[in-house]
Amino acid sequence: MFNVTSESCPYENWTTVARASCVNPDHFHCLKDEYERIGWVCTEPIWVENEYSCRYTLSIDSSTTIATGSTNRENSLQPILITIPLIILVLIIVATMFYFYRRKLSQHSDALPPESIKFMNDDSETPVKEANYSFEKAKNYLEEKKRVVITGVQGTGKTYLAESLVSDMEEKRRKLKKMWISSFSQLLEENSKPTRNVDLYILDDLFYELQLDSEFYETLTIVNDFMTNIAEKCIIITVPSYIWRKHIALFSKTKLDEVHIDLNEMDHREKRFIMKLLMSQHCINSEHASRLNNIENRLVGKSPFKTIGFPAVISWMCKTSHEVGFKRILVNPLQKMSEEIEELKQSHRTEECAKYVILSYLTFHDGILDIKNVNTLLIHYLMEMYARRFQEKDLNRYVKNMVGEYLLEINEGVYKMDLNIWSKLVFVSVAKENLRFAEENYKNSRRHIINEKDCPKDMDEAYPECFIKVNRAENLSLTGGEQI
C-alpha cells in the first residue's frame, strides 16, 4: 500500500524511518507516484536483468505483419471479445480465492495472543535460530532428552511455546497422540492409569504463584512419579518463575534444571524481532513507532520487567495512546494496566462501562464470548452491577469495537481476550467489591485469592495487582452464595 506523506524522503535518517515503517528495513522505499505525491511502501525489490526489460515499439518492420483492413477487421475482433471476458472472469475467481485465503490466514494469526507469537523469520537478515532462539533450544531438549521445562512470568508465552513445540512435532509425526493435563485431578487419574499410545504429555498450569507449599509438594511428587512411569514418552512442563525460583532445589533433584528454558531471559535479538513484529501487526503510525523506537534500548535490555512478560507489555504499548508517557508506563506496567481497568469500571461513559462488563463476562465465562450463545443471566447481572445504561441489543457493536484493543475474534462471532493478564486484573477488580460472586463463579479463584496468614512476604512484589488477601476466618461462612 502506498502511504502518502507530507514530508520529503528521509535521506538523513533513512535507517531509523525504515525500521519504524517496515518489518524488514530493506523493503522500505520512498518515491513519487503518478500524481507527483511523495510516499513510502514496504515491498521486496524486483530485479530485471539489463537489456531484457519489456519493450513495446511500432517502428520495427516485420515480415509477418498483417494489415488489418475493412475485410478482416470484424473477424479479428471476435477473439478479443471472447478473450477479454474470460480473462476478467479468471481474475475475479483468483481474486476471490485469494481474498478468502488471506481472511482465513488472518483469522488464524489474529487468534494467537501477542505474548504467544512463534517468532519465525520474515525474510529479514536475522537468522531463524537467532530470532527464535527459545523455540530452537526447547525443541532440542525435547528431541534429545524427551522433556523440557518452560518458565517465565505471566505474559511471556509459556503456554504458546508449548503449543509451538506440539505443532512442530505434529508436522514430523502426523499420527502424534498428545494429551494436555491442566489440573491436579487429571494428573492423578492419568498417573494411576496412563492412557495407551500417548506420545506427548503437556503439563500446563499445574503450578501457580499462590500455591501453598503443601499443595506444591504434593503436585511435584505426583509429577515426579508420573515422569518415572512415562520415561519413554515426551513431556513439556510449564512453571511460573516465582515457583521455579522458590523451589529450584527440588526441581534440580530430578534434573529438570538441565532442560530448562527461561523466557524471562530472551536474547536482545529475539526481543527486538518480537518488538518489530508486534509493531507491524498492530499497524501503528509512524509517530507512535518513533516513540517506541526512542526507548528501544531500554525495552530490549536485560530483564526490564520483573512481573510481566516482554511480549505482553510491547503488545499493550502498541495499542496504548501515544499521548501516554511510555517511560512512566515502564516504571510499573502492571499497575498502569490495573489502573486502566479501574478507569473503565468508574467511567461515566456507557461505552467504557460496557467494555468493563464484557471483560468481566469473559473472565467469569471461561474466557469465551459467543455472540450467538450468550449467558444472559451472567451478562444481565454484570450489567446491573456496572453499566445499567448498557443494553444487550448493543452487545455485538460494543464487542466488535473492542477487537484490536482488548479482544481477538477467534471464529465468526466468537471472541477471547488478547492478553490473559486482563482476566486476572478484572477478577481482582470484581473480587474487591463482590468476593462471594467472584469466588463462586471463577473456577481458578484460588489462584488469585489467598488467606492473609498464608501469604508469603514477597508476594506483593512477585505477583502484584493479580491477587487479593482475605481474612479467611471471616469468609469461611460464605456458602450458598450467588452462583451464576
Same domain, 259 and 376: no
Domain boundary among 244, 265, 286: 265
Domain boundary among 209, 237, 265: 265
Burial 328-342 (b: 16+ CB within 10 A, else e): ebbebbbebbbebbe
Contacts of 307 (CB under 8 A, 6+ apart): 153, 154, 333, 334, 461, 462, 463, 464
**Rounded alpha-carbon distances, angstroms, from residue 71 to 75, 76, 78, 98, 117:** 8, 10, 13, 43, 66
pLDDT tens digits, one per residue of 411-432: 999 999 998 899 999 999 999 9
Same domain, 362 and 470: yes
**Rounded alpha-carbon distances, angstroms, from residue 243 to 198, 205, 209, 452:** 28, 12, 6, 19
Same domain, 139 and 249: yes
Same domain, 161 and 255: yes
Give me the residue label for grid cell 461513559. Answer: 349
Same domain, 257 and 147: yes
Same domain, 338 and 439: yes
Predicted local confidence at residue 301, as pLDDT: 72
CATH code for the domain of 158: 3.40.50.300
Same domain, 468 and 348: yes
Counted domains in the chain: 3
Instruction: Give pLDDT tens digits along the chain (484 positions).
Output: 778 777 788 877 777 777 778 878 777 788 877 777 888 788 876 655 555 444 434 444 444 444 444 445 555 566 677 778 778 888 888 877 776 655 554 444 444 444 444 443 333 334 444 557 899 999 999 999 999 999 999 999 899 899 989 999 998 887 889 999 999 999 999 999 888 889 999 999 999 999 999 999 999 999 999 999 998 899 999 999 999 999 999 999 999 999 999 999 888 888 888 888 888 877 777 877 787 887 777 777 766 678 888 888 888 888 876 556 777 777 788 899 999 999 999 999 999 999 999 999 999 999 999 999 999 999 999 999 999 899 989 999 999 999 989 999 999 999 999 988 999 999 999 999 999 999 999 988 999 999 999 999 999 888 989 999 998 764 433 333 455 6
Q: Kindly state whether residue 97 falls inside one of the protein's structural domains.
A: no
Phi, psi of 365 (to 5 degrees): -135, 45
Same domain, 340 and 463: yes
Cell digits of residue 147: 522433556
Same domain, 138 and 218: yes
Q: Kindly state whether residue 91 falls inside one of the protein's structural domains.
A: no
Q: Kindly state whether residue 169 falls inside one of the protein's structural domains.
A: yes
Q: Kindly state whether residue 87 falls inside one of the protein's structural domains.
A: no
Q: Domain range spanning residue 160?
A: 128-265
Do 39 and 4 touch, CB atoms closer than 8 A? Answer: yes
Q: How far apart are CA 123 and CA 25, in angstroms?
A: 11
Cell digits of residue 131: 530470532
pLDDT tens digits, one per residue of 316-350: 888 876 556 777 777 788 899 999 999 999 999 99
Q: Kindly state whether residue 270 falls inside one of the protein's structural domains.
A: no
Three-class DSSP category at 39: strand
Same domain, 220 and 338: no
**Bridge partner residues of 181 (DSSP):** 203
Same domain, 353 and 465: yes
**Bridge partner residues of 152 (DSSP):** 240
Q: Kindly state whether residue 239 falls inside one of the protein's structural domains.
A: yes
Predicted local confidence at residue 258, as pLDDT: 96
Q: Kindly state whether residue 102 falls inside one of the protein's structural domains.
A: no
Domain boundary among 229, 244, 265: 265
Q: Kindly state whether residue 285 falls inside one of the protein's structural domains.
A: no
Same domain, 337 and 261: no
